[in-house]
Amino acid sequence: MDESEAVDQTAELVERVAAIDVAKASGMLCLRLPHERIEGRRTQRVWNVGATTNAILELGDHLLCQGVTRVVMEATGSYWKPWFYLLEARGLECWLVNARDVKNVPGRPKTDKLDAVWLCKLAERGMLRPSFVPPKPIRELRDLTRLRSVFIGERSRNRQRIEKVLEDAQIKLSSVATNLFDVSGRAMLEALIGGERSPQALAGLARGRLVSKRDALVEALTVQVDELSQRITAQLAGIRLPEAEGDTGRPRGAPGGTGEAGLLSLVERLDEIPGIGRTAAEVIVAELGPDMRVFPTSGHLVSWARLAPRTIQSGGKNTSGPTGHGNPWLKGMIGEAAMAAARTETFLGARYRRLVKHRGRKKALVAVARSMLVIVWHIINDPAARFEDLGPDHHQRLVNPVRKPQALVRQLQALGHQVTLTPVETAV
């Protein structure tokens, strides 16, 4: 159905725009264009498009013919991906927007058509901002790192299931073998499968009897993890960073740059951060990409990852709220890295030990994870930046040798003690 309406040209920012209310099997599309004959009026057309590949590609050709410069869609589960990827491949500028930013006006009827129209009007007036969607090479790398994480988790779950089955059968094999899946543990499992029930015989296998077969599922998952790691390394080497003074016009992270080692050099620089190993560095690069222009400051990145403190103000009172979910792949990996860094004799480890005393373990780990993400932003943003540890005594070096004793004396006097300070040199 075609409609026309008068609009305020001073508020018009996007001349030709389309919006899609995405569903599982289809999408309601709203197209708003300038009126062909009447100045200052807009034409609007709303229709339903199937979510099949051919239908979306035909839609992309139609929008190009209409001169559409921007297509906006709301993030709805994973249903937005075919629309975004296929229309992007057709050469259209696609924006994925947060559902929180496009809430409808209260009291207004909610239908797919009205939602599409509302989204399109917000887009044409420049009242939306796009969510972060990395370029295609980084999305392919992200698929590999996420699949590897799934396989590693599945491998651990299968090991836990085997041990649970043994415990349910009152077989305390884990009490005899420290590791159920080393040579001794696998020999005991093979003996149990073969019908052996003698505790003495099973215990005798713990002395190191070699077996030639492994658990098939665990072995298969291990092989797949190794293969994925090799593919991830090849993918990282194939995505090259442009030089600072060259390769103008090509977005950072696109294939064919002039960087010597591509994203491998970035992974190696991130690997220098305490707590971040090779795997964690690969996941960070896959989730964030090599272009920090999407995050103008480190604070923007921390906020996007939901690691920044959130203040809630009501009635003049400020309270802190939960950080939120954020990107589960990035947040989970940076959380593991923070736990590893907390055990090191570094600045990050000292920061954790200072905060855990009065903030608790969970908040201290979140604070360390936030600090690590700030470091990550600076290293990715500056190709020449390298990590340099401030040292575990960094905060102690900042202590004023005059004011600190005075503050401690005042605290003791407040507790009812009379304090006299004697310098160490005089006492000796």
241: exposed, middle or buried (Cβ count in 10 Å: 0-12, 13-18, 19+) = buried
For tokens 């690069």, name the residue.
285
What is the pLDDT at residue 417?
A: 86
Q: What pLDDT, in 10s, does the model give residues 221-238? A: 566 778 888 888 888 888
Residue 69 confidence (pLDDT): 85
In terms of Cα–Cα distance, which of 234, 238, 266, 240 is closest to 253?
Answer: 240
- Which of 55-59, 72-76, 180-184, 212-216: highest mean pLDDT? 55-59
243-277 confidence digits (pLDDT tens): 543 443 444 444 444 344 578 889 999 999 999 99
- Beta pairing partners, 97: 74
β-bridge pairing 94-97 and 310-314: unpaired
Q: Which CATH number fits domain 2-124: 3.30.420.10, 1.10.10.60, 3.40.190.10, 3.20.20.105?
A: 3.30.420.10
Q: pTM here? A: 0.67
CB 379 within 8 A of CB 406: no
Q: Is 223 exposed, middle or buried (0-12, 13-18, 19+ CB in 10 A)?
A: exposed
Q: What is the pLDDT of residue 373?
A: 94
Class of residue 159 by CB neighbours under 10 A (exposed 0-12, middle 13-18, buried 19+): middle
Per-domain residue ranges of the chain = 2-124, 137-223
> For residue 383, what pLDDT is reported?
87
Tokens of residue 54, six digits: 């051919």
Which of 5-14, 158-167, 298-307 is the least confident region? 5-14
Q: Which of 95-104, 137-146, 185-194 has the lowest mean pLDDT?
A: 185-194
Q: What is the pLDDT of residues 357-388, one digit of tens each?
A: 888 888 899 999 999 999 999 999 988 889 98
**Beta-carbon contacts of residue 323 (< 8 Å; ≥ 6 apart):** 306, 307, 308, 309, 310, 366
Range scoring the smallest mean pLDDT among 9-18, 347-356, 364-373 = 9-18
